[in-house]
């Protein structure tokens, strides 16, 4: 299994994610979100990326994951960008701070209009040496 797989879900998009650590799980969730949202157009030349710093707080890791993804969606919609790279600087049970890199939306073909990450059946688990979650996106 690659870092995520799309799962059949009525009317919404659902992905199952895995990573070796919790930071990786959050990064993979961001990557999956934007890979589902948009496909890069074949462009020539150097694509300039803009660096964005963000921070979110929540009471549980699950709430933090939803807050992270919804903040990315909000910034993507308001600034007309697609996030392509993610670096989490700090992650504990209640705080996430990250640096993300954005490219103009015009460099991409939009595949899905994703409105929000949801709490539907959301649970973050560690099993053996991997972290897992499943998240539903409202489209």
Q: What is the pTM for the complete model shown?
A: 0.92
CB-count burial class (<10 Å; 0-12, 13-18, 19+) for 113: exposed
What integer is the mean pLDDT of 44-68?
91
The pLDDT value given to residue 54: 97
What is the domain partition of the chain in residue ranges? 4-138
For residues 45-51, give the mean pLDDT: 81
Q: How sure is the predictor about 106, in pLDDT bands with cuts at 50, 70 and 90?
A: very high
Instruction: Burial-class residue 129 by CB neighbours within 10 Å (0-12, 13-18, 19+).
Output: exposed
Whether the per-residue pLDDT at 47 is higher than 90: the answer is no
Q: What is the mean pLDDT of residues 105-124?
A: 94
Would you mind telling me the total number of residues written for the chain in this entry?
139
40 contact partners, CB below 8 Å, separation of at least 6: 107, 108, 109
Q: Which CATH superfamily is domain 4-138 in?
A: Archease domain (3.55.10.10)
Place of tokens 């030349």: 45
Cα torsion through 20, 133, 92, 115, rounded to 10: 130
Supply the DSSP symbol for 74. H
């Amino acid at each position: 299994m690659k870092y995520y797989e799309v799962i059949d879900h009525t009317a919404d998009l659902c992905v199952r994610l895995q990573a070796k650590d919790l930071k990786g799980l959050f990064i993979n969730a961001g990557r999956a979100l934007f890979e589902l949202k948009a496909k890069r157009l074949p462009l020539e030349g150097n694509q300039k990326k803009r660096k964005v710093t963000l921070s979110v707080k929540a009471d549980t890791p699950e709430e933090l994951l939803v807050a992270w993804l919804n903040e990315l969606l909000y910034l993507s919609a308001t600034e007309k960008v697609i996030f392509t790279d993610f670096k989490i600087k700090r992650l504990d049970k209640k705080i996430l701070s990250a640096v993300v890199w954005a490219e103009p939306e015009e460099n991409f073909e939009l595949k899905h209009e994703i409105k929000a990450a949801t709490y539907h059946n959301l649970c973050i688990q560690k099993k053996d040496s991997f972290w897992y979650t499943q998240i539903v996106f409202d489209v």
